[in-house]
Structure 1
């Protein structure tokens, strides 16, 4: 039985880049490019109509990628669409805000085709993706914003005390941007076991996804912006 292909909508205002993405994803046997959009409003309309997994640029004309992401994947959305943001290395506040808006993950625009394809597959199956370089750039740039106040720190640390030692280890690896497979290799456990730990972490800490887990790990000081 053939599984349902991953439905990809490409949202990018540069025609050459859109064409490149279309070529890459259309060549995959498990993917179908269901459409593309050159501005945010068209992206929003197409995504609501086609219900795809979305590859999104942050800086879109008419309606920016952050607002599109918020309307498709943000808190309170009845049927959220998974959004993978592809951004330049000059990660700035737009990237940070897109995370808050509900993006499932980030890749750099200079990522290799295989990384792009794997990224779409990752978010399509419900995982979150943060390329390590993007994670470090985001957290490094916004370290001050993420650092909790003296009054908030004890409460945050108390939350994390609900985790076992192994769960803390997995959370630390998440904060470095590692995939489940990479965490499994580093900790010498199975990928399924990693998935179980991640699920427990999100449940115990009342987090929506891995992106929120990464931010929390930095806020409580489990890892720092200087690592990696």
Structure 2
């Protein structure tokens, strides 16, 4: 059943960009026109989306099966997040959003794979940018030594003032290809795998993600990464 659903998901996701490329080429060929450079650029964008989808599916399958390789090293989470926030600030500002990082003065060190952790927060921040209207705000907060589940964690919260998520949708948020709003998600791009990848990457670090949200009241994702593991 799991394999059947995966095949159906892949077929569904690949069908749309392939159909777009085929239709555009057929229209120009039937009209007797050569394919103009701007059309090639649009087709190139679809190819990039397909390539990203295949890459995401591959890495997600590794994470789901417990075969994701991690290069764990001591990581100063505060300094690492400063670089990540700097990387997304331009996109946020282009969308009329303010991004703020609130950290603490002392180092927050976790044993983590820096590349995988980067993708976790890039995915969460990209999601926040995508669903926060112009004039909104995205806040990133770091806390150290939070006691949860009989252990101490470093916590990073990504909080937006966006459109929020209905309560009934929250249990499915980290499912592969799950979209709260199909039309809205397709319009804003993405492969539909970002949150699922973030969830499994954090889980591979023996951590977890908690989400709190309501429609029209913004969303808060909190990543818990164990200290000393």
Query: TM-score band, normalised by the shorter chain?
Result: under 0.3
Normalised by the size of structure 1, how large is the TM-score?
A: 0.23
Flag the structure with larger Rg: 2
Higher strand share: 2
Normalised by the size of structure 2, how large is the TM-score?
A: 0.23
